[in-house]
Amino acid sequence: MSPVDPAQRQIVHVDLDAFYASVEQRDDPRLRGRPVIVGGHARRGVVIAASYEVRPFGVRSAMSMAEALRRAPEALVIPPRFAAYAEASERVFEIFRTYTPLVEGLSLDEAFLDVSASGALFGRGADIARQIRARIRDEVGLPASAGIAAVKFVAKIASDLAKPDGQLDVPWADTAAFLAPLPVERMWGVGAKA
């Protein structure tokens, strides 16, 4: 088997936006457009997910609930419903598998899809990402972002930059130019300790 020319490789990274909070907003219309925190006990718990409406207050995942509520006292705190998230994830992954069998899940809410061989049926990576995002919105009721690139590392960064509810295509020839101006913190896998 000959290696795939990098210029022809198409990796799509799909990431559901504020997944747990988006499921809660989908299932309870009263939460839509409101600052929502999915998390545990107000004194001891942590933020599992923060809706985009609460993020301007500086609330983010893994923050202590006490700090989150200090920053956003009007936020609505919703206890997690893991069965609902697993069901939504299952439906999304079923959509992924209609485009390629090469699906690498990273968590309930994100995956890499190698769609390099799917072009004859569905179009280029950007077309496939658009179709997938539309189906997730229409069939599952959730927003998703996508990054399209020749390698996973770049596809992941592209989807992060496309948030919320967007997509970004980085052609192979533009990979170095895309990465060069980004701060090191934007590199996938580079955290505060690194």
Q: What is the set of active-site residues?
A: 110
State the virtual CA torsion across 129, 130, 132, 138 in degrees, nearest 10: 160
- Residue 174 and residue 71: Cα distance in Å, rounded? 40
* Nearby residues of 184 by Cβ (< 8 Å), 6 or more positions away: 190
Tell me the C-alpha to C-alpha distance, in Å, between residue 91 and each of 15, 25, 32, 74, 84. Answer: 14, 17, 21, 32, 11
DSSP 3-state assignment of 93? helix
Q: Length of the chain in residues, anyone?
A: 194
CB 160 within 8 A of CB 147: yes
